[in-house]
Amino acid sequence: MGNFGDFQFGVYLSSFTGEAPPDLPFSYAGLAERAQQALTPALWDYVAGGAGDEGTQDANVAAFSRYGLTPRMLSGAAQRDLSVTLWGIELPSPLLMAPVGIIGVCTPDGHGDQAAARAAAQTGVPFIGSTLMQDPMEDVIAHSGDTPAFFQLYTPNNRDLAESFVHRAEAAGYRAIVVTLDTWALGYRPRDLAYGTFPQLGGACLANYASDPVFQALLPQGADDTAIAATWAGLFGNPALTWDDLTWLRGLTDLPLVLKGICAAEDVRRARDYGVDGIYCSNHGGRQAGSAPALDFLPAVIEAAGDLPVLFDSGIRSGVDVVKALALGAAAVGIGRPYALSASLGGTEAIVHTLRCLLAEADLTMGLNGYADLATLRTHGAIRVAG
């Protein structure tokens, strides 16, 4: 069985035989540069920007420089096993595509959710589909092949609609429900305000709403796109959610229930009491509110989670970042901006390329530092180097 790092050897070998390397970036910096050219200025700022002065977004990235890996030699790490099991689901790697509510319009053809699902099918990296899809959830998962897909829920303030979304996701074959807690209102984003950018108000990425019978019943007769967007705006997000609502959410489905946006150890302990199946440590990539870097929350969250798996995202820009988060104890690591930006460069093909680059760098980072598997990495791998 090969290693993910063999992707790199394949590029070198193809070049040796006269085939040019893929005309796609191999680093995040290159990816961002190319994507900025491909996207409109308003959409570029929407994807690349963050909340407020973007200090939290920048701190998320910088936090990884405060951690390093301890090299361990003569450890027999020529072959690596990066596989993980989440809720009984066996996955070839710990990488996930985090939910991105605008991915649908990032691809040239305007069907980015389907492109990401096809990339999942080709790489084995699960796609967490957002409630805010450009195509209905049933049409999206049809493209994911044998790779599991998860559904992210923005809990609307209409319980019947929330239940409909969950039951549709379950019937369509999604394998877990990921409830985002930190986006019941839009964060303060100066870049978007400068353009007046709010894609959903223009009707983008509302396919799950427009295709839902509960939502349809709320529309005025003969509703057009403007009426759909206006009705959505009155339903999106639920600021009234409290801990007591977890009993209702937990009772909607037998699928694993994961809470996204949990950063405090006290919240982890409370969540466990309500029977959730996983914790997703994230500050929404610094897009929603100013906070400390997400990575700084991770060790305490993992300690409080006990035997619950802890997923992580926010600030991941490289395979080395992935490995550091895993070394700190994350069960799986989500990427957001890297695959959203790559989507603009050619849809599925570009997303697959970016995922393979991240997996190759993560795999080679583990192997060259002497870690053959994730259990050994988590036991001996991470070291605080600054701060």
Q: What is the CATH number of the domain that holds 258?
A: 3.20.20.70
Q: How many CA atoms lie within 13 A of 139 on its CB side?
A: 13
Domain presence at residue 6: no
Domain presence at residue 14: no
Give the C-alpha separation, 191 to 196, whole Å. 9
What residue numbers does the annotated binding site cover? 46, 99-101, 130, 152, 154, 180, 189, 260, 282, 284, 287, 313-317, 336-337
3-state DSSP helix/strand/coil percent for the chain, to nearest 5? 45, 10, 40
Nearest CA-CA partner of 381 in 66, 63, 64, 69: 69
Give yes or no for residue 238 having a pLDDT over 90. Answer: no
Out of 111, 143, 167, 284, the active site residue is 284
- At 384 the pLDDT is 82
Domain presence at residue 312: yes
User: How far from the centroid of its chain's Cα atoms is residue 225's Cα?
Assistant: 28
Q: pLDDT tens, 174-220?
A: 999 999 999 988 899 999 999 999 999 999 999 999 999 999 999 99
Q: pLDDT tens, 342-368?
A: 999 999 999 999 999 999 999 999 999
What residue numbers does the annotated binding site for FMN cover? 99-101, 130, 152, 180, 282, 313-317, 336-337
List, in sequence order, the alpha helices (H) in the chain. 6-16, 28-38, 41-48, 55-62, 112-123, 137-141, 159-172, 190-195, 207-210, 213-218, 225-233, 245-251, 265-273, 294-305, 319-327, 337-343, 348-368, 374-380
Contacts of 148 (CB under 8 A, 6+ apart): 89, 91, 126, 175
- At 114 the pLDDT is 98
- At 268 the pLDDT is 98
Give yes or no for residue 382 having a pLDDT over 80. Answer: no
Domain presence at residue 151: yes
The structural domain count of the chain equals 1
Domain presence at residue 36: yes
**Residue 259: which domain range?**
23-70+79-384
284 annotated active-site:
yes
Domain presence at residue 46: yes
